[in-house]
Amino acid sequence: MEPDALVVADRLSRAAFGDLSVCFDLGIAFSTGSHGAACDLIEAHKWFNLAAVHGDEEASHCRSEVAEDMSAQDIAEAQRRARQWLSASLRKAA
């Protein structure tokens, strides 16, 4: 695995274990197609949304910017994925 790809893999792993500080980083990676992540605005919106839910104001701004290039259906899918991720995280914590 290339070093850049390791960055995203590490952040995804940390998020899976409850480290929400990485959500913003994942939003950046998916919105720009950097660090080994493919550009995926739905995933970017999801991660920015999760970061914003946890109080990251910059993530809220970035989520809005990403949403400008998305359809209403894409935004709904991103929100569904964020809810699904939160729900799975809460089940792990219980």
pLDDT digits (tens, 9 = 90+) for 31-60: 999 988 899 999 999 999 999 998 999 999
pLDDT, residue 57, reads 93
The mean pLDDT of 11-15, rounded to a whole number, is: 86
Q: What is the pLDDT of residues 66-83, one digit of tens each?
A: 999 999 999 999 999 999
**Amino acid identity at 86:** L
Structural tokens at position 52? 């914003």
Structural tokens at position 93? 């914590």
Structural contact between residues 67 and 31, judged by C-beta atoms closer than 8 angstroms: no
pLDDT, residue 32, reads 95
Q: What is the 8-class DSSP label of residue 56?
A: -
pLDDT, residue 74, reads 98
pLDDT, residue 11, reads 87
Q: What is the 8-class DSSP label of residue 40?
A: -
